[in-house]
Structure 1
Amino acid sequence: MPDLGVDEPVQRVRMPAAMVYDYSPGLARTRFLRGLEQKKILGERCPSTGEVYVAPTGVAPVSGLKTTEQVEVGPKATITSFCVVHIGFGVNAPPTPFVSALFLPDGAAVSLYGTVGEVDYDKVRIGMRVEPVWVDDDQLTTSMENIRYWRPIDEPDVPAEQLKGHM
């Protein structure tokens, strides 16, 4: 039997992967996407807790109740978590290093994912206040890509204690 070198574990394997898929977003997500097409961030309110969920699915994730009341949130938001990315991915990836983050829109109970721009990566902080930078009007579609990135605004950081449950 040949020596397979099982005493020396493989240290690294390159596995190129891509996932492109189409899906039917349903009514709640369609309303959210149509809002983005108008540069609005829309959520839906849980009839039991009053919390507003973005990007809505039509059902409150905690109570399981149907959500029907649309609520505009943001557009300002707070960074609740972030990561400095040193290896780009995809053809539209920003130059590295860049910051990917979770953004809690004002009035929402859950965060959206995106990237941070117009600031050095080492200046990004949890609690930093930001606003979306939208694509030009002639490029608007029913897509999260309508928000090119989020940029810092001249407002005080939100204390981390106020973000518990959102991090």
Structure 2
Amino acid sequence: MAASAEVLSQAFTLGYTYTRSTGPIVGQFLTSLRNRKMVGIKASDGKVLMPPVEFDPVSAAALTEFVDLPDSGVVKTWCWVSHPRKAHPSDKPFAWAMIQLDGADTPMLHWVDAGEEVAMSTGMRVKVRWAEETKGLMGDVNGFVPDAMALLGDLKPNDATDTITGMEAPIYLTYNFTAGKATAQYLHSIKKGQLVGQRCPNCRNVYIPPRGSCAACGVPTVEEVVLGNKATVESFTIVYIPIPGNPIKPPYVIANLVLDGANLSFLHLLSECKNEDVRIGMRVEAVWKPEEEWGYAMENIRYFKPIDEPDMAFSEIGKLIDEGK
């Protein structure tokens, strides 16, 4: 292996969409938005809070009295966004604003489509521009517009009658990952069909994938160790819940595997066996994709499959025979 390898970099998107319960107060608020209505909630001191909250900010008592509000109000303060980003609600310049609806005592944060910055001012009157199709989300308010701006005519009503009790909440993060020296060398080896770890010069632990340093000793790991395709199951789990975007259909087995010649495990998929037959100590072997499909990823190994060898005792998993120690 060369002393240095080309640095590898790739964009990744990390995300998950989960369903959260809304509770009775937020649920009623979202249901009202779906019906193109604005509602606040009355606090113990008589103030109308918008958006509605579940508990009184002064006494902490539960709040239940909703108040119908008009879909117009006043801009209390604002800031102009000249260059919208991908995650912003508009691809044109717009204003974030604190808007106090008529009849409410607290302002809410939303965006204003004023066209240009000179059209914005503190104290200006604005009104809701409702989405053509409502879903029971804050996006049903498709921004506010100046009071004098004409809006579309009659919008098609939402025929749903149930009260919203849950909502999907997607959280996604896109980032750029740049592999360090040790990881880049490892990925170059994977692309050639080799599994190469690194040995700690102190404790002699072999890391696969290598990290460039020993987590136990805190020293750099430089010596490379070419490992084979055979491994032992150290632990495993049977996955029954589908994961969005994952082409593998449950149930399937994910296992912590210790390659022969290493003593630290990594995660991979097990296949070509019944899930109920998987056990700790089972001997397995890598099944590689065709060479023309190899890239800079552990996915070059399609999965690990059982082999006809005796199980390894749990106490022996990960123990190394290192004559160089």
Which range, TM-score by smaller chain? 0.7 to 0.9
Superposed, 1:3-152 pairs within 5 Å as 3=64, 15-17=169-171, 21-152=175-306
What 5-or-longer segments of structure 2 have no aligned partner?
1-41, 43-62, 66-165, 320-325
Are the equivalent residues in 1 in contact too, given 2:262–2:318 (CA < 8 A)?
no
Find the aligned partners of 2:167 and 2:226 in 1 and give their Cα distance: 45
Query: Partner of 1:22: helix, strand, or coil?
Result: strand
Q: CA deviation at 1:24?
A: 1.2
What is the TM-score with the length of structure 1 in the denominator?
Answer: 0.85
Change (3 A) 1:112 1:89: same
Q: CA deviation at 1:144?
A: 1.1
Find the aligned partners of 1:99 and 1:56 in 2 and give their Cα distance: 24
What 5-or-longer segments of structure 1 have no aligned partner?
5-11
Find the aligned partners of 1:115 and 1:20 in 2 and give their Cα distance: 25
Find the aligned partners of 2:173 and 2:302 in 1 and give their Cα distance: 21
Change (3 A) 1:121 1:163: same
Residue of structure 2 in register with 1:7 after alignment: none
What is the TM-score with the length of structure 2 in the denominator?
Answer: 0.45
Q: CA deviation at 1:103?
A: 0.6
Residue of structure 2 in register with 1:155 after alignment: 309
Higher relative contact order (CA 8 A, sep 6+): 1
Q: CA deviation at 1:88?
A: 2.1
Are the equivalent residues in 1 in contact too, given 2:232–2:258 (CA < 8 A)?
yes
Find the aligned partners of 2:169 and 2:266 in 1 and give their Cα distance: 28
The count of residues paired between Structure 1 and Structure 2 equals 159
Q: CA deviation at 1:92?
A: 3.6
Query: Partner of 2:178: helix, strand, or coil?
Result: coil
Give deviations 1:35-87, integer Å, cap 9, x for gaps.
11112111001011122111111111111111111101231000111100011
Are the equivalent residues in 1 in contact too, given 2:263–2:317 (CA < 8 A)?
no
Find the aligned partners of 2:242 and 2:174 in 1 and give their Cα distance: 17
Q: Output the amino acid matched with 1:60.
A: C
Change (3 A) 1:155 1:13: farther
Higher strand share: 2
Find the aligned partners of 1:16 and 1:83 in 2 and give their Cα distance: 26
When Rg is computed on C-alpha atoms for both structures, the one with the higher figure is: 2
Give deviations 1:70-123, integer Å, cap 9, x for gaps.
101231000111100011214343221000111100111211111101011111
Find the aligned partners of 2:207 and 2:283 in 1 and give their Cα distance: 19
Q: Output the amino acid matched with 1:100.
A: I
Change (3 A) 1:16 1:151: farther
Q: Output the amino acid matched with 2:202.
A: S
Change (3 A) 1:147 1:21: farther
Give deviations 1:6-49, integer Å, cap 9, x for gaps.
xxxxxx98654555543111111111111111121110010111
Percent identity among equivalent residues?
Answer: 35
Change (3 A) 1:146 1:164: closer
